[in-house]
A and B are shown apart, each in its own frame.
Chain A
Amino acid sequence: MDAFPYLWSNTLFKVNLTTWAMTVLTGLIVFIVLRLGVRHLDMRHPRGMQNLLESAVEFTSNIAKNTMPNQQAVRWVLPFAFTTLIYLFVANWLGLVATVALHMQHPLPWLGLTATALATAHGKVILLDSPTANMSFSLGLALLVWLISHGRGLRHPKMWLKHFISPSPFMLPFNIIEEFTNPLTHGMRLYGNIFAGEALIGVLVGAPLLWGFVPWSMPLLFVWLIYSAFVSTIQAYVFTILLTLYIGNKSHEPQEVHHGL
């Protein structure tokens, strides 16, 4: 188990500083890249980054179209879905591109790096990884989606109540259980995939050399990195699909016939 620097580590409200810093870093990267992309927007002759961003928006919009009841709902969810997709993509890749860890000998109790914590982590303190490799952040995002979906569902309170007993009242317990399992699996799926990927990378990187100089784990690391990159991309996509699905399921607006666009 790696060690992380914590704020207020002795309270119930302890904050993982690495995760927090990574959420900021990811946000900044996304912000800067998008800002660069929208620098020279041209309606008629899109170039370079603009094409990429447009196709990303189009992609997100298509995801949303399949799950949201009508065009208006698609437009409503699009900013959130788009930002989440890009944000998670960057966040998931961040831990693959670089992992920064410190080897600390001296405990820093005010950052939560106590002697016991350092001892269990063999002095390894993570300073840079994916924010989504942290369970709290991933579950937090899922919780946010859950809150948004119910907030939107409560725009039509009667239908919101009714959807708990649909398609029949027998489904009520299952629907209620679903309200807990959905956000839980939503967040844990993301966290599990990313954390597992990074944990194994950590193990492979830290594997001892054969006879002291043969890095036998390098080919495996290479394969695993490619696989993790794939998983990171897919998980960002999956999280976004489920996001639009959960919000769409609770959007009780009149259904609109899609015109195949």
Chain B
Amino acid sequence: MVEVGTLVISLLTFLIMFWLIQHFAFKPLAKMLEQRRNHVETQIAEAEQGKTEAEKLLAQQRDLLEQSRREARELLEVARVRADEQARQLVEEAQLQSQRILTEGRALIERERAEALAGVLGQVTQLTVELTTKLLRDHVSEAVHAEMLKEAEQKLGELVC
């Protein structure tokens, strides 16, 4: 049979025990568990946030890298074009210069040849005159002499030219 006294007293005892256990043992445990749950949740949230940020940064860096790569390529292209241009100019200038030097050299040679020829011509004339004088000392008057000289000069001129 159910004994009301036992029921009521033991139930009251159970309730008191429950209160003691709940207050002094379960509460700290539940509090700690709640704390841990919060901690884990915050950590997860932070990790997710960090990940998003990292992805954003990575995308940024990738963009930057791509941009700088593109810029480098452009710079390289410009530099190559410029270098080509410069090389072409240099070659052109060198060609011009060499042309000029060649022309100048030719002119110089021409002039020197003319000078040398003129010198030789003078000397030959003089030698001819002297030789002729020696040969014709007695046979040629001043007038004839002059005429002969003129003729010789003319002939020499024909010879030379």
Contacts and interface: CB of A to CB of B under 8 A. Distances in A.
Contacts of A7: 5
Nearest to B31: A41
B5 A41 contact: no
Nearest to A86: B21
B6 interface: yes
B152 to A, nearest CB: 130
A83 B25 CA distance: 10
A134 B1 CA distance: 10
Contact of A41 (B2, B22, B29): B29
Nearest to B14: A23
Given A14-B3, A43-B35, A54-B29, A35 B10 contact: no
A12 B10 contact: no
B20 interface: yes
B48 to A, nearest CB: 17
Interface stretch (A24-32, A103-111, A210-218, A239-247): A24-32
Of B4, B25, B30, B36, most buried by chain A (CB within 10 Å of CB) is B25
A79 interface: yes
A220 interface: no
Nearest to B18: A83
Contact of B24 (A11, A35, A80): A35
Contacts of A20: 6, 9-10, 13
A78 B14 CA distance: 17
B7 interface: yes
A221 to B, nearest CB: 28
Given A19-B10, A20-B10, A137-B11, A38 B28 contact: yes
Interface stretch (A138-146, A166-174, A249-257): A138-146
A136 B5 CA distance: 9
B44 interface: no
Of A26, A37, A86, A137, most buried by chain B (CB within 10 Å of CB) is A137
Interface residues of A, number: 44
Nearest to B28: A38
A15 interface: yes
A92 to B, nearest CB: 14
Contacts of A31: 17, 20-21, 24-25
Contacts of A53: 29
B62 interface: no
B135 interface: no
Contacts of B35: 43
Interface string B91-117: 000000000000000000000000000
A131 interface: yes
Of A8, A23, A144, most buried by chain B (CB within 10 Å of CB) is A23
B136 interface: no
A82 interface: yes
Contact of B5 (A14, A35, A54): A14
Contacts of B24: 31, 35
B32 interface: yes
A187 B3 CA distance: 14
Of B5, B20, B36, B39, most buried by chain A (CB within 10 Å of CB) is B5
Given A79-B26, A137-B14, 7 more contacts: A13-B4, A14-B6, A35-B25, A54-B29, A54-B33, A83-B22, A140-B6
7 contacts: A20-B10, A27-B17, A31-B21, A38-B29, A41-B28, A80-B22, A144-B14
Q: Which 5 A-B pairs have the closest CB atoms?
A: A27-B17, A34-B25, A13-B5, A136-B6, A15-B5
